[in-house]
Amino acid sequence: MDASLLQEPRSRTSRAAAIYDWVDDRLDLTGLMAHAREKTVPEHKHAFWYYWGGISLFFFMVQVLSGILLLVYYRPGAEAYESVRQITYDIQFGWLVRSAHSWSANLMVFAVFVHMFSVFFMRAYRKPREFGWWSGLALLGMTMVFGFSGYLLPMDDLAYFATKVGLEIPASIPLVGTVITNLVRGGSEITSTTTQRFFALHVVILPLLYLPFLAFHVWLVQKHGNAMPPGEEAKPVEERRTIRFFPDFFAKDLGMWLLSLNVLAILASLYPWQLGPQADELASAPVGIHPEWYFMSQFQVLKVFGRWFPGAFGEYLGIVVFTLGLVIWALIPFIDAKGRNGKWAKAALYIGLIAVFGMLATTIWGYWDL
Amino acid sequence: MNYPFWDVPYLSGGGVIGLIATYHLLIALFAVGGGLYLPLAERKALKEGRDDWFGVLKSHSKFFLILTAAFGTTSGVGIWFAIGLANPEATSTLIHNFVFGWAIEYVFFIVELTTAAIYYYTWDKIDPKLHLKIGYVYAASSWLTLVIINGILTFMLTPGSTWLSVAGSGNEASVFWYAFFNPTYFPSLVLRTLISWNLAGIWALVTASRLDGFRHGKLKHEIISWSAKWLIPGFVLVPFCFLWYLAMVPEAQRQLLDLGISTIGQGTFTQITRSALITVMTSATIIALVYFVAVRNSKSFGLGWAISLVLLAFAATASTEQAREMLRKPYVIGDFMYSNGVRKSEVEKYNAEGYLTHSSWAANSVKGFYSDSETIEAADLKKGELMFRGQCGACHTEKGYRAMNNLLKDRDETAIGNILQMLHENKDDSPYRKYMPPLVGKDDEIKALAAYLKQISVNASK
């Protein structure tokens, strides 16, 4: 046999090695891998909650990919409804992409909320992770605006009326509320102009704002590592357990993504997202119209205050209570700054419990009250 | 003809059967596969002198006994309640044909339950070799329960030409064995046996996940790796067995699946294709997770992950059962009885003489409607409701599962009437023919149904 044939495999390996060396010289891949292997992740009975940030990120990536596909066929403006109708009924796989986009949006909001509360109860906002907490809150806010702006785009009657009542939330902000609302709406009513504005917000402005915050947030996680819950931190170092970040935690994180993909695929294919009749502003609103579930809590708070204190005062009061809650929530790293388990730590725990149960209760109340 | 007094809003009777049956299958097939897993694991431990394995096996057999003897048995009886209520006519046909089959089933069942209890309670109390033998008796008797029930389940999809030739004559019992060893019997038996081994592996991971991997890393890794191997035969052979199974299903009933496969490229999947694809996806995910998360990361493989695997197995089982049910459409017993309990042989009679007239649960009420109601329209609506309950309610709800308000939205009475007419005529080129029974009854009954459907779709959108 020709000797060069026998040598072929070896030369191929050495070529691959040469390419690796070339890249390694410039990007220090070996150092990066060594770092990934050295890095560890705490392992304890609450470790399940570590996955939720990754799950949120996964759904965000699905949003980007499916969103780009929808962008190809969606036409904001007068043809908005017709283009979504084509995506849903005429274009091959269109219904699946749209359904995946809508479902993963909802799953993402859910995952972000779970992530936020798990971070809260693990006290992962304490020093040095304050900026992680704040950037996370900013990302949550933007995620909700993403959801709100995307919901209108199909311009079916549910989207139209839900957006109409949803805009009552910003409109009730004292002084600037009306101005802001008219600005995003493009007038005093929701029209095809509104879809153009929401579209610009949804696919250009928000992504531009979101991505730097996301990069910052992920970089912080990388820098500070996973926070341990107080119970775990109290243990002596030799009793704490860890697993390697790479490949062990990494494999499990990918496994969690695979599970999330399964959940998404089952929901998107068995319960495809529906498209209602075209929005008709002259028609009466369907009974029990309400914003998406993740706005239900705020919606209900405003509604109830409006009922208890009729007129603008009630609305202002609702907004004030809400803003106050948000400010306290953002200031948690300062309120519970001492670390360990002092009285402020206990206060923070109560604040967290009030927030979880308050949101759940007002959301359920909201649906009850339709 | 069914006696449709069991109204399950949102879910439908069929939905209840589906939920109970999936839950039951997940445990019942574990009872079969796990029954073999335990003695084989015990044999391995005995042969290799691995005392550390015995503790794990003992706790696994306790989990096994509780799960199968309590939850498996009660859910099995639950299926009986549900099918008897939701589809009494089909249940009656099964009982008339297979009462002897169920008698045999109960014999094996009692042996199975008794040996499972003896097996658990005699750990360390009797000679290990005798203990192992009890395990084998359990394994054999639990597999034999599958051997029997499989005949009855597959009969519903493919009763076979011999049984169909005597169906309705009163001599069905004379062809018991033909009905039992029907065309899909053997592929289904092999399929279910393979799946029972998969489930044995998955459920064993639940017990293994409870071991502290930081203290007993080697033991945990060995148990997980050995359990994972139980998934291999299933995942290699199931695709081939599934093709064998499909080949035995009559062509006419395969149409729905064929349609679904031929339209995959355009992305407009039929429900059956969606279910089948979900089975493929969840099964592949199970394999990936078992390898990467359980075997490769056995030290930190925890209960949460094990439960996730069980839930994936639940999704895989549910979608497979759903696909199989869809394959049987429009029948509940292949080529003999439609999914709403109307026998194929009775269609002509009902069309000529009326459906409600021959429904003993409804005939008297209908007469009362026209004497008691103020208007004929009001009486028609009541009559239409009875038609809905009798012929649609087996699969559809007003709101919820396969909801009429969703399927009919925006259609006026004429459009609804046209659809009903198409269902009534049930011509060869009707798009509904592949999965829906013909609508039977006289014109006035069908008109009454159209009026009722219009009313519920209007009410629903309010």
Residue B120 · residue B62 · CB < 8 Å? yes
pLDDT at position A1 is: 44
B388 in any annotated domain: yes
Indicate yes or no: CB of A251 within 8 angstroms of CB of B293. Answer: yes
Q: What percent of chain B has pLDDT over 90?
A: 68
Of A96, A241, A251, the CB nearest to B267: A96
Query: Are both B53 and B161 inside the same structural domain?
Result: yes
Residues B261 and B349 in one domain: no
Residues B258 and B399 in one domain: no
Among A52, A89, A258, most B C-beta atoms within 10 A, so best to mutate, is A258
Q: Determine the Cα–Cα distance for residues B417 and A369; give it in Å rounded to an integer.
A: 37
Inter-chain touch B269–A269, beta carbons under 8 Å: yes
Domain C-terminal end among A235, A258, A283 = A283
Whether residues A262 and B299 touch (CB distance < 8 A) is answered with no
Residue A4 reports pLDDT greater than 80: no
From chain A, pick out residues whose CB is under 8 angstroms from the CB of B461. 286
A149 & A188 share domain: yes
Q: Is the pLDDT at A339 greater than 80, yes or no?
A: no
* Residues contacting residue A243 through CB under 8 Å, at least 6 positions apart: A40, A41, A43, A249, B297, B299, B300
Question: Closest residue of B to A93, CA-based?
Answer: B267
Residues B328 and B386 in one domain: no
Residue A39, min C-alpha distance to chain B (Å): 16
- Among residues A283, A309, A328, the one where a domain terminates is A283
Domain with residue A70: its CATH number is: 1.20.810.10
Mean local confidence (pLDDT), B289-313? 95
In Å, how far is B390's CA from the nearest CA of chain A?
Answer: 27
Judging contacts by C-beta atoms under 8 Å, the chain A residues touching residue B265 are 92
Of A252, A269, A270, the CB nearest to B297: A252
Does residue B2 sit within a domain? Answer: no
pLDDT of residue B462: 53
Q: Are A131 and A74 within one domain?
A: yes
Q: A278 and A294: one domain?
A: no
In a domain, B4, yes or no: no
Distances (CA, A) of B278 to A338, B274, B304: 50, 6, 22
- Determine contact, residues B250/B159, Cβ cutoff 8 Å: no
Q: What torsion do the CA atoms of B75, B78, B82, B83 make, to the nearest 10 degrees? A: 80
**Are A196 and A299 within one domain?**
no
B294 & B387 share domain: no
- B172 pLDDT above the threshold of 50: yes
Can you give the pLDDT at residue B460?
A: 59
Q: How far is CA A97 from the centre of its chain?
A: 19
User: What is the pLDDT, as a whole number, of residue B265?
Assistant: 67
Average pLDDT value for residue range B187-207: 96
Decide if A38 is inside a domain. yes
Taking CA atoms, what residue in B is nearest to A286? B462
Let me know: does B4 contact B393? Beta carbons within 8 Å: yes
Do the Cβ atoms of B292 and A254 come within 8 Å? yes
B interface with A, Cβ–Cβ < 8 A, is 214, 265-269, 274-275, 277-278, 281-282, 285, 288-289, 292-293, 296-297, 299-300, 302, 304-305, 308, 312, 315, 406, 410, 461-462
DSSP structural state of residue B71:
I
Domain count for chain B, please give it: 2
For residue B405, what are the domain limits?
344-461
Give B224→chain A minimum CA distance, Å. Answer: 16
Residues of B in contact with A264 (CB under 8 A): none
Query: ipTM more than 0.90?
Result: no
Of A94, A243, A258, the CB nearest to B285: A258
Q: Which domain holds residue A112?
A: 24-283
In a domain, B193, yes or no: yes
pLDDT band at A216 (very low <50, low <70, confident <90, very high): very high
Q: Using one digit for the tens of pLDDT, what is the confidence trace for B63-111?
A: 999 999 999 999 999 999 999 998 999 999 999 899 999 999 999 999 9
Does residue B132 surpass a pLDDT of 60? yes
CB within 8 A of B331, min separation 6: which ones? B253, B337, B338, B339, B344, B437
Write down the mean pLDDT value for chain B. Answer: 91
- B300 and A252 within 8 Å at the Cβ level: the answer is yes
Q: Which one has a higher pLDDT value, A3 or A165?
A: A165
Half-sphere exposure (CA, 13 Å, Cβ side) for A10?
5
Q: Chain B contacts of A47, Cβ < 8 Å? A: 300, 302
In a domain, B7, yes or no: no
pLDDT at B302: 92
- State which of A259, A283, A307 marks the end of a domain: A283
Give domain status of residue A15, yes or no. Answer: no
Among B281, B302, B333, residue at a domain's last position:
B333
pLDDT attached to residue B373: 77
The alpha carbon of residue B301 is apart from the nearest alpha carbon of chain A, in Å, by: 9
A125: alpha, beta or left? (left if phi > 0; alpha if psi -120 to 50): alpha
8 Å CB contact between A246 and A126: no
In a domain, B3, yes or no: no
- What does the pLDDT read at residue A12? 62
The minimum CA-CA distance between A253 and chain B, rounded to whole Å, is 9
Q: Which residue has the higher pLDDT, A322 or B116?
A: B116
The count of structural domains within chain A is 2
The DSSP letter of residue B398 is S
> What is d(CA B61, CA B123) in angstroms, rounded to the nearest whole number?
10
Same domain, B182 and B225: yes
**Residues A328, A277 share a domain:** no
In a domain, B6, yes or no: no
Same structural domain for residues A214 and A324? no
| B209 contacts on A by Cβ (under 8 Å) | none
Q: Which of B312, B333, B354 is the last residue of a domain?
A: B333
- Give the closest-approach CA distance of A69 to chain B in angstroms: 15
Q: Is B46's pLDDT higher than 90?
A: yes
Per mean pLDDT, which range of A26-35, A326-335, B361-370, B423-432 is the poorest? B361-370
Q: Which of B289, B410, B462 sits opposite A255 (nearest CB)?
A: B289
Indicate whether A6 belongs to any domain: no
- pLDDT at res. B256: 74
- At what angle are helices A206-224 and A130-152 packed, to 10 degrees? 150
Pick from A254, A266, A287: which is nearest to B315 by CB?
A266
Residue A227 lies in a domain: yes
Per-residue pLDDT averaged across A229-239, rounded? Answer: 86
Q: How much is the pLDDT for A237? A: 86
Inter-chain residue contact A251 with B292, CB threshold 8 Å: yes
A16 within domain boundaries = no
pLDDT > 70 fraction of chain A, expressed in percent and rounded: 96
- pLDDT tens for each residue of A108-156: 999 999 999 999 999 999 989 999 999 999 999 999 999 999 999 999 9
For residue B410, list chain A residues with Cβ-Cβ distance below 8 A: 277
Same domain, A183 and A327: no
In this structure, are B374 and B326 located in the same domain? Answer: no
Domain boundary residue among B333, B353, B382? Answer: B333
Assigned domain for A200 exists: yes
Cβ distance B258 to B324 under 8 Å? no
Same domain, yes or no: A194 and A92: yes
Summarize pLDDT for A74-91 with one digit per residue, the tens: 999 999 999 999 999 999
Which of B278, B285, B462 minimises the CB distance to A269? B278
> Are A330 and A207 in a shared domain?
no
Provide the whole-model pTM: 0.88
Residue B389 has pLDDT above 50, yes or no: yes
Based on the fold, state whether residues A303 and A341 are members of the same structural domain: yes
Same domain, A298 and A233: no
**Separation CA A90–CA A76 (nearest Å):** 18
Average pLDDT over residues B57-68: 95
